[in-house]
Amino acid sequence: MRPIIEFCSSNMHHGTDRVMAELEANPEYDVIEYGCLGNCGECAVQPFALLNGDTLLAETAEELQEQLLQKIREAEEMERLLSDEPD
């Protein structure tokens, strides 16, 4: 399953614009920008994004990108393991 990564345009001042641009360059990811994701409390305070509907928060945009990539790798590994299981 392709990861769906969602960003709030109001959160870009935390540096998530750079993270979004880098992730958009990967054709394996679906990256979407919204005007508002309804997480105003987090949005005002720190970088955040949604990955497959789950909220990820970080102290910096770089940490957020690392979290996103780690969670994507974990999901890919789980998917691979599940597809290797015998029926």
Query: Is the separation of the CB atoms in 8 and 26 below 8 Å?
Result: no
pLDDT at residue 65, rounded to an integer: 98
SS3 71: helix
Query: Is the separation of the CB atoms in 8 and 43 below 8 Å?
Result: yes
pLDDT at residue 87, rounded to an integer: 58
pLDDT at residue 1, rounded to an integer: 81
pLDDT at residue 40, rounded to an integer: 87
Query: Averaged in consecutive runs of 10 residues, what is the pLDDT profile of the chain (87 residues)?
Result: 94 96 96 91 92 96 98 93 77
pLDDT at residue 38, rounded to an integer: 86
Query: Is the separation of the CB atoms in 44 and 57 below 8 Å?
Result: no
pLDDT at residue 49, rounded to an integer: 97
pTM: 0.89
